[in-house]
Amino acid sequence: MSINCFRIAKAPLQSFASVKTRPRDSPNRLVSVFGIKSSPPSFVTLRVISSSMAYEKELDAAKKAASLAARLCQKVQKALLQSDVQSKSDQSPVTVADYGSQAVVSLVLEKELSAEPLSLVAEEDSGDLRKDGSQDTLERITKLVNDTLATEESFDGSTLSTDDLLRAIDCGTSEGGPNGRHWVLDPIDGTKGFLRGDQYAVALGLLEEGKVVLGVLACPNLPLASIAGANNNNSSSNEIGCLFFATIGSGTYMQLLGSKSAPVKVQVSKVENPEEASFFESFEGAHSLHGLSSSIANKLGVKAPPVRIDSQAKYGALSRGDGAIYLRFPHKGYREKIWDHVAGAIVVTEAGGIVTDAGGKPLDFSKGKYLDLDTGIIVANEKLMPLLLKAVRESIAEQEKASAL
């Protein structure tokens, strides 16, 4: 099987329209897609996305890729073997499903979008699989991928070798950046949740000239019904598995993962009173400062306890209004990776939410694999965001003062 990967993918010119911004003192200054006002220089020519229809083919490919990858992950999670878990050099757990998921997404995108070069920024590489003693794991991953692709008609008759598998995984070694088109993938976001049998997501997004224009979240263990409360008396309450997807300017939709059911448009919570809000945070205390989040919640007057779940499934749940706030404050020294937020960010913003760093700045995905952030990431609706930012600033200042004593 021929597998071709390219570092840079040029954006199609017809996807953009050239416009000029007004002077800085004009009342019609440019507003970003995240609802945050910018302050551009006078009459700077910008290229902006002209129509979400330009991404129809890409969205179809992304949904297929994420859904097939989720199918592979579900199979592995149901029968986790001791040999399925390895340790990468950074000591975070990685499973055969991580590698298999990345290979599936790479192969589907390459096949469905073969007319353009594929630039994929992804979490995994094949380094550990090429080491001595990894042959059994490599062969198991190859079989999983082949079995998964065999369920898709367009791959009928195609069989991957172990070398094909390694090349497919290494298609995800692009560095990203501000120019061209780059797919961004976390093959299993929430690996620890996956290993526990809890929440995880296959998260796939598309960057165009450094801006997020498309996102898909496949969340195999997230109920189709809201997780906000126990009283779910609708027909979907027992159905598990959600597929969230969004393209710029077209809103966010959700449907049952692995089905052809009609997608439903979703919106973030409209709660305006923070006392009535609930907030999400990372399940693992090692991933976020729960104490700081608690301080912020207290300042806001939030009465509900935090909802702690793994992965970008939080973004999906927020996009449909299961909660109103998401707080993420990594420990000092940690650098956020773009694949942990690209897909989730557009899923929430297209549903009416706002995603910023702790200083209120929109996330900048144009710098490569890492995000340059002010302290952490916060998410809320338009009404709650000003109050949230104030509480965040005050809590961080108090924490810094206490640590200086």
Which residues are part of the catalytic machinery? 98, 191
Which residue spans within 55-123 are E strands per DSSP? 85-87, 93-95, 120-122
Q: ∠ CA 174-317-371 to the nearest 5 degrees?
A: 30
Provide the 10 A C-beta neighbour count for residue 205. 29
Q: Are strands 307-309 and 325-328 parallel, antiparallel or unpaired?
A: unpaired
Q: By three-state DSSP, how is residue 37 classified?
A: strand
C-alpha–C-alpha distance, residues 124 and 188, integer Å:
10
Length of the chain: 405
DSSP per-residue letters across 317-371: HHHTTS-SEEEE-PPTT---BGGGTHHHHHHHHTTTEEEEETTSPBP---SSSB-
Distances (CA, A) of 231 to 98, 228, 277, 388: 35, 9, 17, 28
* 93: β partners: 87
Q: By three-state DSSP, how is residue 390 classified?
A: helix
Tokens matching residue 131: 């080491």
- CA dihedral (250, 241, 198, 351) in degrees, to 10, reads 20
* 328: β partners: 377
Identify which of 326, 248, 246, 236 has the alpha carbon closest to the alpha carbon of residue 287.
Answer: 326
Distances (CA, A) of 77 to 69, 70, 101, 347: 12, 10, 12, 25
